[in-house]
Structure 1
Amino acid sequence: MALMFSRLARNFARNGYYPTDELTLERTLQALVPASSGRMRILDPCSGEGVALAEVAHRLERDRTEAYAVEYDKERADHSKTLLDRVLQGDLMDTMISRQSFGLLWLNPPYGDLVADHSGASQYQGSG
């Protein structure tokens, strides 16, 4: 775990749950600008409790933003459902998402050496 941000390392032992830390979220939100017109669909494919994506939706003008999420853990998915428009509780690898369905994809760190595919996920064919 040498490449993982130290402020995120504390989350490593929490069943693979890595909530976006406040500093990262705050800096990212500052870089986002709402679209000049129309609606936007945003997706977090590993939403956790949905807090980060809810903040993103608020920053992008909540009434013009549709927030979608996928979360494997039932308890966290249930919490996400209280904050977001649509939440699918299930395995992302079994989810089919059409091309160009979303204008923004939220993927939070840690990245570091956790990006290595030790699970074989890159070879996963899905069941859908």
Structure 2
Amino acid sequence: MKTIIQSEKAPAPIGPYSQAVKAGPFLYVSGQIALDPATGQLVTINIIREANQVMENIGAILRAAGLGYEHIVKTCIFLKDMNDFGTVNEVYGEYFKGDFPARETVQVSKLPKEVNVEISVIAYQS
């Protein structure tokens, strides 16, 4: 059985997908970009603000499912430019207290709405 998770505190999907799907003890959060849910505008002033908005969007979806960042077991980070790796890594690290999730970070040629970073996660609650 699966449950669709939706939060008004995260941006609405820009296509035919859900913000997240809970299946058993796992929560699969769709890739998030730096859309401000309050305004619908992209937050692309700089890579720090952009990465923070992405992580805040993920947090809103996690909270809607009754979870937090500590429940994340796997992360996929997609970067438009691998030169942003260090900065995004630093921002990303601020959202965890240890026991970091498994992760990969890859450079891609293009992301939705021409953003610089997109992140998806899988969370687990026993």
TM-score by length of 2: 0.31
The structure with the largest alpha-carbon Rg is 1
TM-score by length of 1: 0.31
Q: Larger % of strand: which?
A: 2
